[in-house]
Every structure is written in structure tokens, then in C-alpha cells.
């Protein structure tokens, strides 16, 4: 009985969607062109994705799988034409096998190409050991490049503004309060995260202040997250009302 | 009382959806006051002389389009209205379609030509290593633009051979690219950096404003709406903020009601 009800809701919704589109095309609100069909498809997929809020259903699953497939296909094409073709195929493969090529092959590209291929050998039991060469190169290079830069940008760069004097000439009262709050927040949160000392007495009290700072920070993050999710909904509703139904200018 | 606390979540979804639709259909004005962080980006662009080079990194894909595309469009309006040269690129494979849409729509309104007034370098993977490559030599990182043109021949890139020559870099980020630009780009090649990010990332970016590693920040739809107001091109973000405000008020109301019901039901339970 319940499954029959779900089937009826699904077919009814699809029927209503088709009827609305026929009406929109017949009344000229949607152009009878690729653009018009694109808008229709976009509207259908948007509604299919949001139908998950009611219940998991086949139309949501179709939209979900379509999104994954299309984005993967798009990524492959973009990667080929933007990266592999101009940076590897044209300078190395084409001159190697074409007698008409004007430029000589860039043989240095063979090394990174092989390192890339080695990474895929993780799937072979006999040749998986070759992938360690690539990983060793990537980890070594990554650490070598990252460590000094991260220390400079994140640790030293972030400590500097935290060490500003609270009261100095030229500062307004508000900016001094701001700096004082930063000092209080940084110190109390750092003390909260010292677990080698029991949180009793003065340490316990300061770490409680740290918890308050953390809670306020999580609250701000959650508020922003809600704003982000609502923004996505607003954007989709704008698309449905403006581009599809044409009732919003 | 208990049954109000066990309300079907779908009713809340429906109420939110109705609130969004109604507030979009009813046209009423709400103020969009500018914040200091958004003003930072605006003032930087205002300070650049005509012909300066601004690089835009569109690091997002359709899943974050609703928040970041309005920022990109408003920022492009500002750049083109001030005759700045725009260099667009991305580290996201899903971005090129959105970039073309934003660039072509805004550029045509100012009669700007591809190659002369702006360029779209396209997508390249690599993240940090690509940024370092661009810092050393922009032409070796992008020998061809998105349309296959030789980048050495493009007039819009004249005078720019590395990130050191960029007057301003604006990163529109849906992921961790702002940190990557700071660590591997700004700190090493000493260019001015501004950013636009999704609201989820906003709070994490504020320390970079405090340390002046970012000259300005546009956060979420609100940041986009503030920029649209500043450049006097009110569009989807400003309209969206109406619904955003209504929904936020509604959510606050739900939270207050939920708490009152919770405490009342607890009192009756233990009475």
C-alpha cells in the first residue's frame, strides 16, 4: 500500500512537471530550442535532487548518478585538452612519432610521465613496488617545499598580529578591546588544550574561558554554514522562478 | 507538548521553501551595509591605475556557484569599468564553463575583447606546484590559453611574465586554495591578495585578514551582495539576501520555540 502511494506520488510529480513544461513551451515562455530544453533539464534535475528532502526516491538517484557521471566526463575532457594534450602529447608524443613535426621532442617529459604511470601500478600486485618511487618523490618534494613556507606563512605570519601591544598610541578604544579579546582568547584556548596538567584551580578557570571562546567560534561557523546552505537553496529557487517559470525578473 | 517537539522535519523544510519563494516574489528593500573586509577588496581595485593586471583565480565548480558566481560577476564589472586587464585561470576542472559565462557576459557589456583586455588561461592541475611555476614563469605554466592561443602573443599579458608582476590577485575559493595562494604565492612572490569564499569557509579566513595576509574578503552570499552594492550592480546576490534575512529570522524563531517547548515539556515531565 505504502509503495503504491510512493509510486503514485512519483508518477504524479513527473506528470505535473511534463504538463508545466508543455504549457511553458506552448505559451512561449520557454524557447523551443536547445537553450529551452537545457533550462527544462536543469529545472527537472533541481527538483529531483530536492525531492530527497521528502524521501529517498528513484528520481533523486538518477540525478545523483547523472551528476557524478557528467562531472567525471567533463573533468576528463578538460584535463585532456587543458593539460595532457598541450603539456605532454603535443611536445613529446607528436614529435616522437610524426616526421612532419617541426620541433624536437621534449625528452625531459619522459621522467614525470613515467612517475605518473608508476602511481597507477598500485593496482598490479607484481609491479606495485614501483609506485613507491613516485610516492617517495611526491612526499619528499612536497615536504621540502611545504615545511618552510607553511612555518613562515601560518605560524610566524599568524603569531605576529597576536603579539601586537594592547594599548598603543594611535589605537582606538575599540581596536584595543579587540586586541585584548584576541589575547584572552588565544591564551585561554591554548591553556584548554594543555592536557598534561590537570584542569583545576586557576588552570581550570582559564580553560573554562577557553571553552566559551571555542563555543562562540563553533557557533559562528555553524551560523555561516546555515547561511551557505540557504544561499544554495535561494540560488536554485531563483533559477526555477526566473529562468524556468519566468515569474521573477 | 511532546508532539510539537517531534514535529516532522519535512514541515520545517516546506516552511523554509515557502519563505524563500515568497520573499523572492515580494519585492522589498533591505539595507546591505558594507563591511570592512569587503571594502578592502573594493578599495584595492579603486586604487589601481587603468591598465593594471588583475588575476582572477576561479577555484570553484557548479556546487558552489550560487555564492561565488555573483562575486565573480560583480568583481568583473568593477575591473572592466576601471579598464583593468583581467587574467582568469582555475585550479578546478569544473570551473571553465562558469568562467566563460561570467567573462563573456560582463566583457561584452564593456566592449572588452579576449586577448586584448582579458585572457582566460584555462585549467591546470597541480595546486601548489602550479602556483610556484606561475611565480617563476607564467608562460611555461600556461604556454597556451583556454582557446589554444600562444600566451606569449597575447597583448593582455604584455608586461606580465610571472606572479611578481601581478598588481592584484583575487581568489574565488570553494576549497583550500586561499591558504595555498598565501603559502606558495603571496609569501614568496609578494603580490597583493584578496579573496572571496563560501560562507562555510568564512570564519576560517578571518585570521588572514587580521594578519594582513589578505587585503580583503568576500564571504558567502552576503559578501557578494555587499560588493554588488558597492559597484552599483545590484543583481542576484542582493535579491537573495532578502530571502536570506527572512530565513535567518525564521530559523532563530524555530530555535527559540524549540527551546521554550523543550524546557516547558521537561518541567511538566518532572512536576
| DSSP code per residue over B115-155 | TTTEEEEEE---THHHHHHHHH-HHHH-SB-TTS-BGGG-G
B50 to chain A, minimum CA–CA distance in Å? 30
Q: Is A73 near chain B, with CB under 8 Å?
A: no
Look at A153 and B17 and tell me if their CB atoms are within 8 Å.
Answer: no
- Chain mean pLDDT for chain A: 90
Q: What is the pTM of this model?
A: 0.90
Per-residue pLDDT band at A72 (split at 50, 70, 90): very high
Higher pLDDT, A178 or A49: A49
Report the chain A residue with the minimal C-alpha distance to residue B205.
A221
Cα A137–A138–A141 angle (5° rounding)? 80
Strand ranges, E, within chain B: 53-59, 85-90, 118-123, 168-173, 193-197, 217-219
If phi over 0 gives left and psi between -120 and 50 gives alpha, with beta otherwise, what is residue B58? beta
Look at A248 and B25 and tell me if their CB atoms are within 8 Å.
Answer: yes
Look at B199 and A71 and tell me if their CB atoms are within 8 Å.
Answer: no
Using a CB-CB distance cutoff of 8 angstroms, which residues of chain A are in contact with residue B254? none
**Residue A33 predicted with pLDDT over 80:** yes
Look at A226 and B243 and tell me if their CB atoms are within 8 Å.
Answer: no
Helix B65-81 / helix B96-109 crossing angle, nearest 10 deg: 30
**Residue A59 predicted with pLDDT over 90:** yes
Half-sphere exposure (CA, 13 Å, Cβ side) for B78? Answer: 27
**Residue A1 predicted with pLDDT over 60:** no
Using a CB-CB distance cutoff of 8 angstroms, which residues of chain A are in contact with residue B202? 224
- Confidence (pLDDT) at A235: 94
Look at A231 and B128 and tell me if their CB atoms are within 8 Å.
Answer: no
Interface test with A, best of B183, B237, B253 (most A CBs within 10 A): B183
Half-sphere exposure (CA, 13 Å, Cβ side) for B46? Answer: 10
B68 to chain A, minimum CA–CA distance in Å? 10
Backbone angles phi, psi at A201, to 5 degrees: 60, -135
Nearest residue to A88 via CA among A120, A115, A113, A118? A113
A129-155 tens-digit pLDDT: 999 999 999 999 989 989 999 999 999
Look at A82 and B96 and tell me if their CB atoms are within 8 Å.
Answer: yes
- Chain mean pLDDT for chain B: 93
Q: What is the 3-state secondary structure (H, E, C) of A61-72?
A: HHHHHHHHHHHH
**In this predicted complex, what is the ipTM?**
0.90
Mean pLDDT of A22-34: 90
Positive or negative, the Cα torsion across A215, A217, A223, A226?
negative
- Confidence (pLDDT) at A2: 63
Using a CB-CB distance cutoff of 8 angstroms, which residues of chain A are in contact with residue B36? none
- Confidence (pLDDT) at B30: 87
Per-residue pLDDT band at B248 (split at 50, 70, 90): very high
- Confidence (pLDDT) at A10: 87
A130 to chain B, minimum CA–CA distance in Å? 22
The cell numbers describing B157, all together, are 599579458
Report the chain A residue with the minimal C-alpha distance to residue B16.
A230
- Confidence (pLDDT) at B3: 75
Using a CB-CB distance cutoff of 8 angstroms, which residues of chain B are in contact with residue A157? 182, 187, 211, 213
Backbone angles phi, psi at A205, to 5 degrees: -65, -45
**How many CB contacts within 8 angstroms connect chain A with chain B?**
134
B126 to chain A, minimum CA–CA distance in Å? 10
**Residue A97 predicted with pLDDT over 90:** no
- Confidence (pLDDT) at A210: 95
Report the chain A residue with the minimal C-alpha distance to residue B149.
A86
A197 to chain B, minimum CA–CA distance in Å? 28
Using a CB-CB distance cutoff of 8 angstroms, which residues of chain B are in contact with residue A79? 93, 123, 125
Look at B187 and A157 and tell me if their CB atoms are within 8 Å.
Answer: yes
Using a CB-CB distance cutoff of 8 angstroms, which residues of chain B are in contact with residue A237? 17, 20-21, 24, 243
Interface test with A, best of B27, B93, B188, B241 (most A CBs within 10 A): B93
B81-136 tens-digit pLDDT: 999 999 999 999 999 999 999 999 999 999 999 999 999 999 999 889 999 999 99
Per-residue pLDDT band at B257 (split at 50, 70, 90): very high
| Residues above pLDDT 90, as percent of chain A | 65
> CA B213 to CA B205: how far, in whole Å?
10
**Residue A102 predicted with pLDDT over 80:** no
Using a CB-CB distance cutoff of 8 angstroms, which residues of chain A are in contact with residue B211? 157-158, 160-161
CB B84 within 8 A of CB B106: no
Q: Is A172 near chain B, with CB under 8 Å?
A: no
Using a CB-CB distance cutoff of 8 angstroms, which residues of chain B are in contact with residue A233? 16-17, 20
Per-residue pLDDT band at A173 (split at 50, 70, 90): confident
Indicate the residue of A145, A160, A234 with minimum beta-carbon distance to B66.
A234
Q: Is A234 near chain B, with CB under 8 Å?
A: yes
Return the SS3 of B37: helix
Interface test with B, best of A220, A224, A229 (most B CBs within 10 A): A224
Cα B197 to chain center, whole Å?
Answer: 5
Mean pLDDT of A204-214: 95
Look at B20 and A149 and tell me if their CB atoms are within 8 Å.
Answer: no
B6-43 tens-digit pLDDT: 888 899 999 999 999 999 998 888 889 999 999 999 99
Look at A235 and B240 and tell me if their CB atoms are within 8 Å.
Answer: yes
- Confidence (pLDDT) at B28: 84
**Residue A249 predicted with pLDDT over 80:** no
- Confidence (pLDDT) at A162: 82
Amino acid at each position: 500500500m505504502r509503495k503504491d502511494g510512493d509510486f503514485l506520488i512519483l508518477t504524479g510529480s513527473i506528470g505535473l512537471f511534463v504538463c508545466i513544461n508543455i504549457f511553458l513551451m506552448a505559451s512561449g515562455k520557454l524557447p523551443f530550442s536547445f537553450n529551452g530544453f537545457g533550462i527544462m533539464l536543469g529545472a527537472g534535475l533541481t527538483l529531483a535532487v530536492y525531492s530527497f528532502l521528502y524521501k529517498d526516491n528513484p528520481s533523486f538517484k538518477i540525478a545523483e548518478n547523472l551528476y557524478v557521471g557528467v562531472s567525471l566526463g567533463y573533468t576528463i575532457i578538460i584535463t585532456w585538452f587543458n593539460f595532457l594534450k598541450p603539456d605532454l602529447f603535443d611536445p613529446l608524443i607528436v614529435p616522437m612519432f610524426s616526421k612532419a613535426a617541426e620541433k624536437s621532442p621534449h625528452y625531459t617529459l619522459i621522467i614525470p610521465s613515467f612517475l605518473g604511470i608508476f602511481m597507477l601500478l598500485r593496482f598490479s600486485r607484481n609491479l606495485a613496488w614501483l609506485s613507491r618511487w613516485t610516492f617517495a618523490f611526491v612526499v619528499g618534494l612536497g615536504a621540502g617545499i611545504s615545511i618552510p613556507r607553511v612555518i613562515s606563512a601560518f605560524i610566524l605570519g599568524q603569531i605576529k598580529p597576536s603579539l601586537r601591544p594592547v594599548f598603543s598610541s594611535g589605537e582606538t578604544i575599540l581596536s584595543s578591546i579587540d586586541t585584548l579579546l584576541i589575547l584572552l582568547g588565544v591564551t585561554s584556548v591554548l591553556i584548554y588544550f594543555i592536557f598534561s596538567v590537570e584542569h583545576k584551580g586557576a588552570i581550570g578557570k582559564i580553560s573554562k574561558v577557553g571553552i566559551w571562546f571555542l563555543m562562540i567560534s563553533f557557533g559562528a561557523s555553524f551560523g555561516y554554514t546555515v547561511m551557505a546552505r540557504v544561499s544554495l537553496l535561494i540560488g536554485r529557487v531563483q533559477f526555477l522562478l526566473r529562468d524556468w517559470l519566468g515569474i521573477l525578473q | 507538548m511532546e508532539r510539537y517537539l517531534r514535529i516532522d522535519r519535512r514541515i520545517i523544510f516546506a516552511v523554509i521553501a515557502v519563505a524563500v519563494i515568497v520573499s523572492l516574489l515580494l519585492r522589498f528593500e533591505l539595507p546591505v551595509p558594507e563591511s570592512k573586509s569587503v571594502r578592502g577588496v573594493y578599495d584595492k581595485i579603486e586604487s589601481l591605475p587603468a591598465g593594471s593586471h588583475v588575476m582572477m583565480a576561479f577555484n570553484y565548480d557548479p556546487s558552489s556557484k550560487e555564492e561565488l558566481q555573483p562575486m565573480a560577476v560583480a568583481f568583473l564589472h568593477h575591473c572592466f569599468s576601471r579598464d583593468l586587464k583581467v587574467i582568469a585561470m582555475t585550479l578546478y576542472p569544473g570551473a571553465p564553463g562558469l568562467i566563460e559565462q561570467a567573462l563573456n557576459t560582463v566583457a561584452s557589456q564593456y566592449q572588452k575583447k579576449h586577448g586584448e583586455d582579458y585572457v582566460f588561461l584555462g585549467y591546470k592541475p597541480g595546486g601548489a606546484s602550479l602556483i610556484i611555476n606561475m611565480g617563476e614563469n607564467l608562460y611555461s605554466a600556461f604556454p597556451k590559453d583556454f582557446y589554444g592561443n600562444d600566451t606569449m602573443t597575447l597583448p593582455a599579458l604584455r608586461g606580465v611574465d610571472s606572479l611578481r608582476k601581478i598588481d592584484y590577485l583575487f581568489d574565488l575559493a570553494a576549497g583550500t586554495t586561499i591558504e595555498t595562494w598565501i603559502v606558495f604565492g603571496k609569501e614568496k612572490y609578494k603580490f597583493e591578495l584578496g579573496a572571496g569564499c563560501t560562507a562555510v569557509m568564512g570564519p576560517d579566513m578571518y585570521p588572514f585578514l587580521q594578519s594582513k595576509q589578505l587585503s580583503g574578503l568576500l564571504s558567502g552570499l552576503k559578501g557578494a551582495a555587499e560588493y554588488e552594492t558597492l559597484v552599483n550592480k545590484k543583481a542576484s546576490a542582493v535579491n537573495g539576501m532578502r530571502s536570506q534575512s527572512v530565513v535567518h529570522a525564521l530559523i532563530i524563531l524555530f530555535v527559540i520555540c524549540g527551546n521554550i517547548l523543550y524546557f516547558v515539556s521537561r518541567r511538566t515531565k518532572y512536576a
